Structure 1
Amino acid sequence: MILDFLVKEVLLPFGSEQPGPTQRLDALLSTGGDLTHAEQVLRSTLESEPDAFAAYFALYKLLFRQSRLPEAEAVVRKALAVGAGQGGFCSDWQDHSATSAPWSTVNSPAHFYLFSLKALSFILLRQGRMAECRSILDKIAELDPGDLIGASVIRAYADGAASA
């Protein structure tokens, strides 16, 4: 397999997707090829299925692991807009409160949004954009006080980077 996870493994946390498209994406990615092939499959999937949470997740993860951080950031920002659109809430993370969406509902667009927001914080951290990273981490802590998405791990990295 090209990536170190099956796309269908990310179906559960992001729940709103249909299993058919996710299985097709997994099948295409598992046929072999290289990272360029995987990226083409993911981008093609997003062209035909622009609300495919798993494809966004896989694509921004792929780009991040290749240190293509500006591209990964652009994909994450698009994923945030799609998650907000599907969830019926504002796409601007700064405008959210603990009650603006069902953040603790794991199988929801709100959960995908939080997961993508966590990814954005890590991308910003890797780019050295510490103030933006910390602002997002503070917002995630407000929206996800139980740390369901594991943003405390990114906060620990940020704390370590700040003390280095």
Structure 2
Amino acid sequence: MNLFTGVESTALFGGEVPPAVRRLIDSARGASRAETGAILWTAVLTSPQSLPPYYLLYKFHASQGELDEAHEVACKALAVAARQASIDSDWREVQPGDADFATPGPARFWLFTLKALGFISVRRGERAVAHELVGKLRMLDPADGVGYGVVEALLS
């Protein structure tokens, strides 16, 4: 799934982005690095309840090696998704029956973002946190539907 290339986000996020946000995302394609960051931040601020711009922004920062920024955005995304999915704001407290993590929508996005935080934690050298995150992912997604096994392999 890649909103930059036009592949839709419904499999993970459960819906489309608002038209104004779509226009911003479209304008980010082919933009300079600085412009892309500014456009994606604008998208998040324009529609703070829309989950896809958070994904694009934390992925953008991570790809640029801006791990603190990626972590900050992923934590914000996790909080928004938790509210939308009606699950605990503390990821450590979330239990398997709290939401349907296999169905597209905020709970699945939350789970995917938890995986992203695991990856970011590995890259930041926070192995203990990454192990905790993988443990929670293993509990919530035993079939590894979001692909946390990649993060787990980095910890081996």
TM-score calculated relative to the size of structure 1: 0.87
Residue 133 of structure 2 aligns with which residue?
Answer: 136
Q: CA deviation at 1:9?
A: 2.9
Residues 45-99 of structure 1: CA deviation (Å, up to 9, x unaligned):
1111001211101110110011111111000000000001111111211001110
77-86 vs 46-55, which deviates more?
A: 46-55
4+ residue segments displaced more than 2 Å: 4-10, 16-23
Q: 1:154 to 1:136 in 2, by over 3 A?
A: same
Residues 16-38 of structure 1: CA deviation (Å, up to 9, x unaligned):
444634532332112x3201111
Aligned CA RMSD, in angstroms, stands at: 1.7
Consecutive unaligned residues of structure 2, counting only runs of 5 or more, are: none
The correspondence of residues 39-54 of structure 1 with structure 2, limited to 5 A, is: 39-54=37-52
Q: CA deviation at 1:137?
A: 0.2
TM-score calculated relative to the size of structure 2: 0.91
Question: Residue 99 of structure 1: SS of its match in structure 2?
Answer: helix
Consecutive unaligned residues of structure 1, counting only runs of 5 or more, are: 160-164
* Counterpart among 99, 121, 124 of residue 127 in structure 1: 124
Whole-angstrom CA distance in 2 between matches of 1:70 and 1:113 = 19
Whole-angstrom CA distance in 2 between matches of 1:158 and 1:83 = 26
Residue 14 of structure 1 aligns with which residue?
Answer: 13
How many residue pairs get aligned? The number is 154
